[in-house]
Structure 1
Amino acid sequence: MVQVGSDDADVIVVGAGPAGSTAAYYCASAGLTVLLLEKAAFPRDKICGDGLTPRATREMVAMGLPIRAEDGWIRNQGLRVVGGGHRLELPWPELSSYPSYGLAKTRMTLDHALADHARAAGAKLLERTNVTGPLLDERTGRVVGVTARPVDDAGRRAGDERTYRAPVVIAADGVSARLPLALGLEKRMDRPMGVAVRTYFRTPRHDDSMMESHLELWDGEPHRSNLMPGYGWIFALGDGTANVGLGSVSSTAAATRVDYKDLFAKWMKNAPAEWEFTPENQVGPVRGAALPMGFNRAPLYTRGLMLVGDSGGMVSPFNGEGIAYAMQAGRVAADAIVQAQARPTDAARERALETYPRIMRDDLGGYYTLGRYFVKLIEHPQVMRLCTRYGLPRPLLMRFTLKLLSDCYEPRGGDMVDRVISGLSRLAPAA
């Protein structure tokens, strides 16, 4: 990690999504010079459910990001679970580690707010800048920067390629993971992979205080038609619309043969009437994206390059939540970089940078392993059907389910459910 006089910044962050903007914010807040490169121009859309669990809300609060209603946020108080003939409303757990509410905001505005927050902290944001690859030191093979070129709103080349240099580069470049792939860091095929599609509907229930999760998707009248693979969600956004989508998960990264848009259309024909999800009320097309799960790319740090968010496969196998873990990774990565900058030798700086993957693995590795077991169980629709029919009415099981679906449990202490989840996470191998 040798400082070079021609460096453009102390750290380059590639991608201004939640992971990248969070890392840029914390680095800039600590006094580092930060270059945040984003291929699109804000505001820009991303495929997402737009619902934030209390775990993600905690990260927003820690950054000092304004989350007032007048800033376009709507708070949700819990999870409404529909499945197996049951309809349960489960308030978010009351914990010392997390707030007892979640949030919702479109990625169009969320990502813009996070990028602006990073810029206000001192990060330099370059929009319409498409990073084309890593810049490697010819002698050591270490990443010492990136190559990039300006693009127009359609992503077409709009200028000459240039080089940006920094002693550390953060890859927050999403599912495409262009930078990790350039270093030969392929995705692991033994990790779960999800696929999600979503659209927006105008709805009279746009201010619903509960996030709604449908654990069974039927292509006709429930229990008299075919049970389809996947689960659905309805997240009210408070602006006259709701984000409506469905996801499916596989225990491996192999591509599925499911036609998700057709699956979504069949579900919408049988969606709850009170939401008024009619073709006339649909806003925009159905769009989809992959959800890389359970640390599906490793190592998270190598040769001057850190992987955060989707580039490192940090989506939770339990619920498809990615934003909370992306922001956590950005925060932890930034802390490692800040500590490294204060060390007097290259060897000491490298030891500080190597704390990042260790902290992430220690905190989430065992939990994600449990998630892989969970996926192997529920990827079969008939197993999910039995679990929802006979498991949902049982209060103890639902307490487990809620804490897993919200990704919120006390890591130390708490009640019996917290202690069991924490214990299992510590016992499970963090591979």
Structure 2
Amino acid sequence: MAATGGTEADVIVVGAGPGGSSTAANLARRGLSVLLLEKSHFPREKVCGDGLTPRATRALTRLGIDTSEEAGWIHNKGLRIYGGRTEPFVLDWPDLTDFPPYGVVRQRADFDDMLAQHAVAHGAELVQGANVNEAITDDRSGRIVGVRTKDGVSYRAPLVVAADGNSSRLAISMGLGKRDDRPMGVAVRTYYKSPRTNDNYLESWLELWDGEPHKSTLMPGYGWVFGMGDGTSNVGLGVLNTSKGFGKTDYRALLKRWLDNTPQEWGFRDENMVGKVQGAALPMAFNRKPHYGRGLLLVGDSGGMVNPFNGEGIAYAMEAAEAAADAMAEAHARGIGTASAERALQGYPARLSAELGGYYRLGTIFVKLIGDPRIMHLCTTYGLPRKTLMRFVMKLLANLTDKRDGDAMDRIINALCKVAPSA
């Protein structure tokens, strides 16, 4: 049953980014009424690399999205990695049972709008301009029973999903702050008119130099170049809080210094910039928990679901959305408020922990290591030239392995994730 213009529903989802819209679509497909509340109006821009790995492609397919080139998606075949030498290393995405052999590229303004409309098409009610700033709780139980917007409008539901991003005012209003023992990143990006716009590989720069490569200072962070297929390239960089320069760095100046040393003909210069340089936080490795409690579920950045290995957030937000919808649909069928329904809802954080907890714990160790540019330089100098090692690293960083019938690399990565304590 779809929501029909009221202020009550089975579930309220706050935030219509990839995590929120995917949650709403999954819930509506399972027969629940859903209010999807978005503070801004579509189309709206979000800071993102716009490049998605096969993991995100799989999530889109599972949601029922046509990811064909005919449907407007740019496909990519793998990674082109700069680091350790002048020529890049080119690695195709692995050929796997569990994941497709291609990633996709789409601008976030269009991507988010499309996912929100997909949720509406399945029966969710989208309310734009609903800037939620606090939870409404039951005085006796402390459970969330609705939300209130900045302009005083109330919406009610027995279950609420916080998909309102890194700052998550809704989670904070329920007493859920961030954990300081989890890594955090900052990403800045902009667009340039560039002849490199048509590129079927995502490009990653593991070394950022503040002058001539290998003859200047190695800076903290990593860079990317993703061709958008529309005459522009999305160019950006990420810096981790495990690096000494975090918080003291002028990221826009850092981006410019790096790009000033790329070939002139690529076009990554101020006169070719489209729009301005914008930044965003990357909350990693479950930096806000618990992911369920007192009727509130966290999905995406609100629950710190960005992969610490590669900064990817969309795939994990969409996977969490499906897991959250499964738990809520089961709880709804058992009767919200019963002990059995509560056990079903507790299955959501348990599933996240089982599927990603060990992997994210390994990621927290990884980011501590690469936060030191000297270690990054050693890795790129002595590790990158070894093709077999690089294939292993690519599978690890992009979290692309077969769980059942994988090769030796898959079995090693899967075993490491199992033995690591959950993040």
User: Within 5 A, what are the aligned runs for 1:6-155?
Assistant: 8-85=8-85, 86-149=87-150
User: Within 5 A, what are the aligned runs for 1:178-257?
Assistant: 178-251=169-242, 256-257=247-248
Deviation at 1:66, TM superposition (A): 2.1
- Asked if 1:388 is matched to 2:389, the reply is no
Consecutive unaligned residues in structure 1, runs of 5 or more: 1-5, 150-159
Q: Please, what is the CA RMSD of the aligned residues? A: 1.6
Tell me: CA distance 1:273–1:255, structure 2 relative to 1, closer, same or farther (3 Å): closer
Which residue identity is paired with 2:147?
Answer: V
User: Within 5 A, what are the aligned runs for 1:206-355?
Assistant: 206-251=197-242, 256-344=247-335, 346-355=338-347
Deviation at 1:203, TM superposition (A): 1.1
CA distance in 2, matches of 1:274, 1:407: 34
CA contact (8 A) 1:200 1:243 kept: yes
Deviation at 1:411, TM superposition (A): 2.3
Identity %: 57
Deviation at 1:259, TM superposition (A): 1.3
Tell me: CA distance 1:132–1:374, structure 2 relative to 1, closer, same or farther (3 Å): same
Range with bigger deviation, 267-276 or 311-320: 267-276
User: Within 5 A, what are the aligned runs for 1:355-366?
Assistant: 355-366=347-358
Deviation at 1:177, TM superposition (A): 1.1
CA distance in 1, matches of 2:372, 2:82: 18
CA distance in 1, matches of 2:305, 2:101: 23
Deviation at 1:276, TM superposition (A): 1.6
Deviation at 1:272, TM superposition (A): 3.5
CA distance in 1, matches of 2:162, 2:263: 41
Please name the residue that 2:3 is paired with.
Answer: none
TM-score by length of 2: 0.96
CA distance in 2, matches of 1:279, 1:304: 48
CA distance in 2, matches of 1:54, 1:259: 32
Please name the residue that 2:422 is paired with.
Answer: 430
Which residue identity is paired with 1:134?
Answer: A
TM-score by length of 1: 0.94
CA contact (8 A) 2:195 2:266 kept: yes
CA contact (8 A) 2:243 2:371 kept: no
CA distance in 2, matches of 1:165, 1:176: 22
Deviation at 1:38, TM superposition (A): 0.1
CA distance in 1, matches of 2:101, 2:259: 31
Which residue identity is paired with 1:133?
Answer: E
What CA deviation, in whole Å up to 9, does each residue of 1:238-263 have, x standing for no partner?
A: 11111100001124999621111110
- Asked if 1:376 is matched to 2:376, the reply is no
Aligned length: 416
Please name the residue that 1:156 is paired with.
Answer: none
Which residue identity is paired with 2:57?
Answer: T
SS in 1 for 2:240: strand
CA distance in 2, matches of 1:73, 1:354: 36
CA contact (8 A) 1:135 1:143 kept: yes
Deviation at 1:90, TM superposition (A): 0.2
Tell me: CA distance 1:253–1:223, structure 2 relative to 1, closer, same or farther (3 Å): closer
Deviation at 1:179, TM superposition (A): 1.1
SS in 2 for 1:355: helix
Tell me: CA distance 1:334–1:253, structure 2 relative to 1, closer, same or farther (3 Å): farther
